[in-house]
Amino acid sequence: MQVNESIEDYLEQILILQEKNGCARSVEIAAELSVTKASVSHATKLLRENDYIHMADDKCITLTPSGREIAERMYQRHRTLAQFLMRLGVQEDVAFADACRMEHDISAETFAAICRHADKNWK
C-alpha cells in the first residue's frame, strides 16, 4: 500500500488519540480530521488490511508497530515544523496548520537541516 498524505494524517491522529485516551474511536477521528464517518470507515479498513492498525471488538483502534513508526515520524515532523515556524514569528494556530501541510512534502534533507538548526539555536 502506498502511504500517502491521507494515510499519514489518519495514523498521526490515531497516535494522538491513543496517547490521550488509550485508543482511538472512529467518531473521534472523524471529528478531529473533519471527515465523515464513512471516510474513516474506508480508511480504517485499508489501514487494518495493511497491518497499520488493530481494531478490537469494542471498536477501540490502536496502532501496530509499523503504523506507530509512521505516525511518530509524522507527529515529530509536525511538532518540529510548527515550533520552527513559531520561532520565526508565525502565530501558533497558523504554524500548526502550515506544519500539517508541510510535514508530508518536505524532503528528509530539508527536515534534517531544520532539526540541526533547531538543535544548535534553540537551546
Average pLDDT per consecutive 10 residues, the chain (123 residues; last block may be shorter): 83 95 94 94 93 92 95 92 92 93 89 84 67
pLDDT for the residue numbered 57? 87
Domains of the chain: 5-69 (1.10.10.10), 75-121 (1.10.60.10)
pTM for the model: 0.86
pLDDT at 93: 94
Question: How far apart, in whole angstroms, are the C-alpha atoms of residue 7 and residue 71?
Answer: 9
- Estimate to the nearest angstrom the gap between the alpha carbon of 74 and the chain centroid: 5
Strands (E), the chain: 53-55, 61-63
